[in-house]
Amino acid sequence: MILSDTDLREYLRSGRLVVEPLNWEIVRENGLDLRLGSEFCEVLHTDEALVVGGGDVSGYYRCGRGGEYVELKPSTHYLLHTMEVVALPNDLMGFVELRSTFARLGFLMPPTIVDAGFRGQLTIEVVTPPYPTRVRVGTRFLHVVFAKTLTPVANTYKGKYQEQRGVTLPRW
């Protein structure tokens, strides 16, 4: 079952779903629009092989912080994050997509899921359009559709990204 704006407002008011800072304008017809945070990590081009599952990956990224805007190069992979911290209860999960405006501008994002029990800011990957872009920090850029599970999840998320803040690089 997908939660409507009425359902989302009830989950937020009751504290079962937490979004901080909460601006009620992010509650949409059937989801929440989350806003862009100020940190970014550009995925670098290199001929050095990455050993998946081990070692430090920070050399494969150039990370920084935007001011009023996050400046993005054309046709480049980035990790970005949400301004909001979310905390999902054990009976909700989320499907994360770009807002359609960003998709229409040429941004791409792989499918992303938020598991029941997750707490933290979301880190997502985007590929930028073939022209430079400047996105104002605080712009609504993601849409999260929440689905209620048929029964509460017994084994909620306790993974390595729990409580993440800012852009979080891959962890092994």
Known catalytic residue at 125: yes
pLDDT tens by residue, 15-74: 999 999 999 999 999 999 999 999 999 999 999 999 898 888 999 999 999 999 999 999
The pLDDT tens digits for 111-147 are: 999 999 999 999 999 999 999 999 999 999 999 999 9
| C-alpha to C-alpha distance for 113 and 125, rounded to whole angstroms | 12
Choose the catalytic residue: 39, 71, 125, 163: 125
pLDDT at 55: 80
| Predicted confidence (pLDDT) per residue in 99-114, tens digit | 999 999 999 999 999 9
Reference 168, options 107, 122, 104, 102; nearest CA is 122
Triad 146, 144, 152: Cα angle to 5°: 25
Give me the pLDDT at residue 172, please: 83
152 Cβ partners below 8 Å, 6+ apart?
89, 90, 91, 116
Torsion of CA 103, 166, 76, 96, to 10 degrees: -30
What domains, with CATH codes, occur in the chain? 1-44+61-97+113-167 (2.70.40.10)
pLDDT tops 90 at residue 167: yes
The closest of 137, 106, 124, 105 to 164, measured between CA atoms, is 124
**Cβ(9)–Cβ(73) under 8 Å?**
no
